[in-house]
Amino acid sequence: MNIWPFSKKDYDLNGNRFYQEYVIEREITASERQLKVTAALAAGLRIAEGVAAMPIITGTKRYDEKGRKITAPVMDGDLFERLTISPNDYMTPVEFVESLTLHAVFEGVGRAYIDRGYKGKIRRLIPLLDGNVTPRKDSETGRVFYSGTIPGIGSVSDLTRRDFIEITAPRWSDIEGLDVTSEIQKVLSLALTLEGRQTEDGAKKSVRGYLSTDQQLSPEAAKLVKEALADKLPGTPIFDSGTTYRSIVPTQAEMQLLETRRFLIEEVARAYGIHPIFLAHDAAGQSLTRIADAMDYHVTVTLAPWARRWEQAIAFSMLKADQFVNMDENQYYRGDLKTQGEYGSKALGNNAAWETPNDIRARTGQNPIEGGDELPRAVPAKEVKDGA
């Protein structure tokens, strides 16, 4: 019996029966695994984009006679310009925050040099994303110093953390953030192997079935059949015995592969602290109708810790005692128009108002109005009764 087309060694790899063998035996040589694994890349992007989307508010602070903090945003000066307008001459604030956050998520630290000029004026923020600078701890004094090379500045040594904005993952040691990517390298290696294997199978156009016939075909007849099937069933083998078409169903190994892929997404989500639904995972059947709950999880559990790290890193290196910084996550709670209306109605309530009309308008992106900066006056019940 002849087989058309004649057997090729590559055909042995068309099916999925070799998955287990190749998953176990292959090695991953990528130096940036997290960028090549879909779930890990998505997790890093969701975190970096989420943090960068929060407006950075800076200004002055003081305390009243009862110890309550009173803040006043400041919309000018080098601090405001570097954090909200132009960190340097080639990046926007969003790009700057995203870059440092991505490196902190994937490598344990995101660092930028604060280039100060006359009287400490902040001229620019220079991201250090290639390991240009490393910290070391003096064993005798316990102090930490930084040394290395800064683009546009040159070699530096004996600098301190106050010369940098340094965002780290939770610290494993006192001077190093935890490198999550290295800690879960086995999970990422397996995920990368599976994705590579699927890519190879797709390129080889796995066989969907085969044709057989009772009659032995001549080379000319087999060629005509192949040409007739070229558009509809490309790559279909022809056996000249038996006249039926049989479909090749997924193997048990292939079905297990799909289950393994789902498990790997969940493992990546656990490692990077992100809800699986933000990695396009069904999250155990959860519906997108409950996206509000997932968004609360995302802001509270995933983004809030990174926002606090940014606030404290900025305060540590750039702020004076009478200044403050706030990563404003309120925009994530805007909700739909109905929800906004219900909130605004309660916030402006006559007997327990906690926001002014202009506060509500600012939250929805509208300009202030004259007379809108006063809290609605609480009306005593007696005045309401007398007025009636």
The structural domain count of the chain equals 2
Distance from chain centroid for Cα 359: 31
Chain-centroid distance, C-alpha 228 = 49
Q: Which of 314, 320, 323 is nearest to 167 (CA)?
A: 314
**Which parts of 206-251 fold into alpha helices (H)?**
219-229
Burial of residue 178, with CB atoms counted within 10 A of its CB: 0-12 exposed, 13-18 middle, 19 or more buried: middle
Residues 6+ apart with CB under 8 A from 39: 191, 264, 265, 268, 269, 279
Domain contains 353: yes
Query: Measured between alpha carbons, how far is 300 from 280 in angstroms, rounded to an integer?
Result: 19
Q: What pLDDT is attached to residue 8?
A: 38
Strand order of the sheet with strand 323-327? 69-73, 56-63, 323-327
75 three-class SS? coil
pLDDT digits (tens, 9 = 90+) for 350-370: 667 878 888 888 777 778 888
217 burial (CB, 10 Å; 0-12 / 13-18 / 19+) is middle
Strand ranges (DSSP E) for 248-350?
323-327
Of 197, 227, 247, the domain-final residue: 247
| pLDDT at residue 212, as a whole number | 67
Query: Which residues span the domain enclosing 230?
Result: 208-247
Residue that is last in its domain, among 199, 222, 247 = 247
Distance CA 271, CA 79 (A): 34
Q: Which tokens belong to 218?
A: 């001549």
Dist. CA 163–CA 116, nearest whole Å: 9
Compute the C-alpha angle 238/244/250, nearest 5°.
80
Residues 6+ apart with CB under 8 A from 178: 108, 169, 170, 171, 172
What is the predicted pLDDT for the residue at 64? 86
In a domain, 139, yes or no: no
- Which of 247, 269, 303 terminates a domain? The answer is 247
Q: Answer whether residue 267 is part of any domain.
A: no
For residue 216, being part of any structural domain is answered with yes
Does the pTM of the predicted model rise above 0.85? Answer: no
- Quote the CA–CA distance of 278 and 260 in Å, as a whole number: 19
Amino acid residing at 283 = A
212 assigned to some structural domain: yes
pLDDT the model gives residue 368: 84
For residue 10, give the nearest of 160, 263, 203 by alpha carbon.
203
Tell me, yes or no, whether 217 lies in a domain: yes
The answer to whether 237 and 12 are in contact (CB under 8 A) is no
Domain assignment present for 340:
yes
Ranges in the chain, pLDDT < 70: 1-36, 192, 194-213, 231-258, 282-291, 334-336, 350-351, 377-388
Helix, strand, coil % in the chain, rounded to nearest 5: 45, 20, 35
Q: Is residue 188 part of a domain?
A: no
pLDDT of residue 322: 93
What are 97-131's pLDDT values in tens digits? 999 999 999 988 999 999 999 989 999 999 998 87
Decide: residue 354, CB within 10 A, 0-12 exposed, 13-18 middle, 19+ buried: exposed
| pLDDT at residue 173, as a whole number | 82
Residue pair 311/55 in contact (Cβ under 8 Å)? The answer is no
